[in-house]
Amino acid sequence: MTDIRNIVILTGAGISAESGIDTFRDAGGLWEQHNIDDVATPEGFARNPDLVLGFYDMRREALSKAQPNAAHQALARLDAEFSGDLLIVTQNVDDLHERAGAKRVLHMHGELKSALCTACEMRSPWDATLSDRPACPVCQAPSLRPDVVWFGEMPYQMERIYGAIREADLFVSIGTSGAVYPAAGFVRDARDLAVQTLELNLERSDGSHWFHESRQGRAGELVPAWVDEILSA
């Protein structure tokens, strides 16, 4: 790949798997352990807020014990050393890209370490539990929910993401099954704009056939090798 000046990277749960964070749809993943309609929809939250708040408290706790892996570190190196435009769009709610040192990161599905007030709609940094119904730091209402995007809700910063894809000359998808829209459609959006597309995933995904190139393997191996290619081109 030569003359790459503008890269958009989409990451999914697979990039954090080697840090010990559960993926969703792999064998033993979160959706085998929990009912998706109960814990990842606004309707599920309305039915049983305690269940949902407990689910996200558990995941925030698991995140506190995890460390960035070689794939996060390689993307942080790319962020620091690549002189062109770069945007890391992550579907992940963990903060492992940031903890590895990446700066140009956008969380389209929200963040575990943020809380959203259903009373005043303010987003606040949040590191503690939510199941004990703490007060919103802004309006004091005991109305905080996880600041994550559930099914049926609009992902964050879609205009910025589509704008970045329009300007890109390379779109790279890492560790995502391609099962959830709109992220799963980015590869087709990119191809419609004649952007080169590359997939790095453990196995072929639902959308592999859309990519110009698809490489299979662990993110901890594939991503550092690809970053070396880009930085030495």
Give the active site residues: 109
In this chain, which residue has its C-beta nearest to ligand BJW? 14
Query: How many other CB atoms are found less than 10 A from the CB of residue 19?
Result: 22
Q: Which C-beta is closer to ligand BJW: that of 139 or that of 158?
A: 158
SS3 99: helix
25 near ligand BJW (CB under 6 A):
yes
Measured CA to CA in angstroms, residue 42 lies from 16, 36, 70, 87, 189 at distances of 25, 11, 35, 29, 28
CB nearer ligand BJW, residue 20 or residue 84: 20
**CB of 173 within 8 A of CB of 7?**
no
For ligand BJW, give the closer residue by CB, 103 or 188. Answer: 188
* Residue from 34, 77, 104, 109 binding ligand BJW (CB under 6 A): 109
Closest separation between CB of residue 18 and ligand BJW, Å? 5
Q: Which helix (H) or strand (E) holds 115?
A: strand 110-117
24 labeled part of a ligand binding site: yes
Nearer to ligand BJW, 6 or 91 (CB): 91
Pairing mode, if any, of strands 196-201 and 105-107?
unpaired
Q: Is the peptide bond before 182 cis (omega within 30 degrees of 0)?
A: yes
Q: Which stretch binds ligand BJW (CB under 6 A): 117-125, 135-143, 149-157, 165-173?
A: 149-157
How many residues in the chain?
A: 233
Should residue 219 be labelled a site residue for ligand BJW when binding is judged by CB under 6 A? yes
CA neighbor of 40 nearest in space, from 135, 100, 134, 109: 109
Interaction site with ligand BJW (CB under 6 A):
12-14, 17-18, 23-26, 29, 40, 91, 93, 109, 148-155, 158, 175-177, 179-182, 201-203, 205, 218-219
From the annotation, which residues make up the binding site for Zn(2+)? 117, 120, 136, 139
